[in-house]
Amino acid sequence: MKNWMLTIGVFFFALSIQAQSVIGKWKTIDDETGEAKSVVEIYEKSGKVYGKVVEILRADHKKDVCTKCEGADKNKPILGLNIINGLKKDGDEYSGGTIFDPTTGKKYKCYITLESADKLKLRGYIGISIMGRTQYWTRVKN
């Protein structure tokens, strides 16, 4: 009986850890206005984490294009644009990649961590992390 209870406990513990993943859809919240702007889907590919804009929440911006982007992304729709690129898991955080702000056309180093199962802390910075901005995104419930 004890072994059976232990097995069930380990199973539920494993499920709770799996549920606390950065993978999924997140509502982006502007750190200056508090406004929800978009939904970004964070996914894993070849051991790295990426994020793509899958929904634009503000009606007057749904058809915006990236006029300040450089290279192949210039004048592409923001909807569908990859904005998080190449983050690697390092303990409880994902780092070593970049985040792109399509509004300004600027790319920043970044790291992300889970504050809770439904709250993501994202820090974008230039140089060292003290020189940057933090946003908190909320998980989109299915």
Quick: pLDDT tens for 58-73: 999 999 999 999 888 8
Q: Which two tokens stand for residue 77?
A: 């729709």
**Please, what is the Cα angle at 129 between 31 and 37, to 5 degrees?**
20
Sign of CA dihedral 99, 42, 30, 134: negative
pLDDT of 1 reads 55
3-state secondary structure of 142: coil
pLDDT digits (tens, 9 = 90+) for 4-49: 444 444 344 433 444 589 999 999 988 888 899 999 999 999 999 9
Tell me the pTM. Answer: 0.82
C-alpha to C-alpha distance for 33 and 30, rounded to whole angstroms: 6
Question: What pLDDT is recorded for position 9?
Answer: 44
Which has the higher per-residue pLDDT, 15 or 106? 106
Report whether pLDDT(137) > 50. Answer: yes
CATH code: domain 24-139 is 2.40.128.520
